A and B are shown apart, each in its own frame.
Chain A
Amino acid sequence: KAGVTQTPRYLIKTRGQQVTLSCSPISGHRSVSWYQQTPGQGLQFLFEYFSETQRNKGNFPGRFSGRQFSNSRSEMNVSTLELGDSALYLCASSWSGVKGNEKLFFGSGTQLSVL
């Protein structure tokens, strides 16, 4: 069974540009969460999607957005990139995301560098 797949693995952008990152969850998983990891702030929750609807959102500006498709695949978008957006962006999937005893499985992440 394939794991969580994130593409691309590495990305280099310049300030002011926008970027779209993709995540394919484990087959059958319907909940997809996104996290940002930086050396200074650690792992921080961005948002979570289930059945194409955003169910939960972390404390990030509106430049960070996402969506989920009917096949549970998800994308996140960052507009007007800033240097501080350089980070490892991680996607995690689970069956439904509603139970505390449900494991989350993470992808390898997309390393975004903003120059």
Chain B
Amino acid sequence: DAKTTQPPSMDCAEGRAANLPCNHSTISGNEYVYWYRQIHSQGPQYIIHGLKNNETNEMASLIITEDRKSSTLILPHATLRDTAVYYCIVRSDSGNTPLVFGKGTRLSVIA
């Protein structure tokens, strides 16, 4: 079972920041937080991941709380092409563990 909880859906106005929350209250010290997204009928696309520190790349920023029990994915300027299902995944660093997907958050970017 997925170890994360996400809201089923969110809306965001085009050009505004999209903030997607994720709860992972049972996360262990050696588990990473990953974010993927899936646009309809395509394969999941890697967005960003982190362990303890906040991370930023060309696509998004990942903010992890100090106790690591929750995180937020931030898309700074959402576009219509960011409409997708966003998955927050917790993955162990020990051994070859697969990604366990939950139901994710369906983000709709509205013009």
Q: Is the CB of B43 within 8 A of A33?
A: no
Instruction: Give chain B residues whose Cβ lies under 8 Å from the Cβ of A56.
Output: 96-98
**Which residue of B43, B93, B101 contacts A4 across the interface (Cβ within 8 Å)?**
B43
CB under 8 Å from chain B, chain A span 52-91 = 55-56, 58, 88, 90
- Count class of interface residues, chain A: 20 to 34
- Does B59 reach chain A (CB closer than 8 Å)? no
**Interface of chain A, main secondary structure:** strand
Q: Shortest distance in angstroms between A5's beta carbon and chain B's nearest beta carbon? A: 11
CB under 8 Å from chain A, chain B span 6-21 = none
Q: Is the CB of B101 within 8 A of A43?
A: yes
Q: Shortest distance in angstroms between B96's beta carbon and chain A's nearest beta carbon? A: 5
Complex CA gap A50/B45 in Å reads 22
Q: Is the CB of B100 within 8 A of A45?
A: yes
Interface string of B82-96 (1 = CB under 8 A from A): 000001000111111
On chain B, the number of residues with a Cβ less than 8 Å from chain A's Cβ atoms is 25
Complex CA gap A41/B100 in Å reads 12
Q: Is the CB of A105 within 8 A of B31?
A: no
- Does B103 reach chain A (CB closer than 8 Å)? yes
Instruction: Give chain A residues whose Cβ lies under 8 Å from the Cβ of B51.
Output: 101
**Which residue of A88, A92, A106 contacts B41 across the interface (Cβ within 8 Å)?**
A88
Known: A56-B96, A105-B46. 8 other contacts (CB 8 A): A4-B43, A33-B99, A42-B101, A43-B87, A92-B44, A100-B30, A103-B46, A111-B41
Can you list the 8 inter-chain pairs with the closest CB atoms, starting with the nearest?
A100-B93, A106-B43, A43-B101, A45-B98, A97-B96, A100-B32, A106-B44, A103-B46
